[in-house]
Amino acid sequence: MKQLLLIRHGESQADILHVHEGRADFSLTERGHSQAQAMGKWVAEHYCLDLIFASTLKRAAQTAQYLSEAAGVEVNADEDLMEFNNGLLVGLPFEEAAARYPRVENLPPDQSVYGQYEFRARADRALARCLAQIPDGATAAIVSHGGMINQLFASLIGLPPAASPRFLTGDTGIHLWVLAQDGPRLIFSNKQEHLLDM
């Protein structure tokens, strides 16, 4: 049996600028740094981490660093854990993006602006690589992004790429999976009690 914590990054500059983030490489805000520090402390108090994997984008890498310092475990950077590649939308204000690139409803996944199949394939690769490195009885954390966490959930439970699941993950939200021989079990989702005193 293995335990896997999936953790979203803290608040980023894009959140307060109201722009499309995706591959835009924004840093955490001051609040985001505080959130990440609180998350790292909470996880270290409740779990003995053996491994940490993280996206290479700044907001996730900075969040993972707080977890690393609190848990005393090095971060394994993995580019496959980056958020979706949103192409022309990257860094654009929401209103401008909507005017310049109106959303097409019911577009097949293989034709979507977000490259749904490629995104899921990255999640599958990253998850398989991470799980292969976690010994039985160990606990690992993946620090990534809301979209990627959705894809990792879908990969864990075997949903098809076209399913496009939507699992809520707030700033530094934590999800716990237990990976047993009879399949994965979601223990809790989007836990944020570490933010209650903020």
Rounded to 10 degrees, the C-alpha dihedral 168/38/193/13 comes to: -30
In the numeric block, which tokens belong to residue 191?
A: 């836990």
Tell me which of 21, 83, 145, 194 is the catalytic residue.
83
* Residue with token string 């989702």: 189
State the Cα–Cα distance between residues 186 and 4, nearest whole angstrom.
Answer: 10
Report how far residue 154's alpha carbon sits from residue 43's, in angstroms, rounded to the nearest whole number.
Answer: 24
Name the residue among 9, 76, 17 with its Cα closest to residue 37: 9
Among the options 9, 20, 145, 194, which is catalytic? Answer: 9
Provide the token pair at 104.
Answer: 């097409």
Two tokens, residue 22: 């995706």
DSSP string, 59-119: HHHHHHHHHHHHHT--EEE-GGGSPP--GGGTT-BHHHHHHHSPPPTT--GGG-TT-HHHH
Task: Note if 9 is an active site residue.
Answer: yes
21 catalytic per annotation: no
Query: Distance (Å, rounded) from C-alpha 175 to C-alpha 53?
Result: 15
- Catalytic positions, please? 9, 83
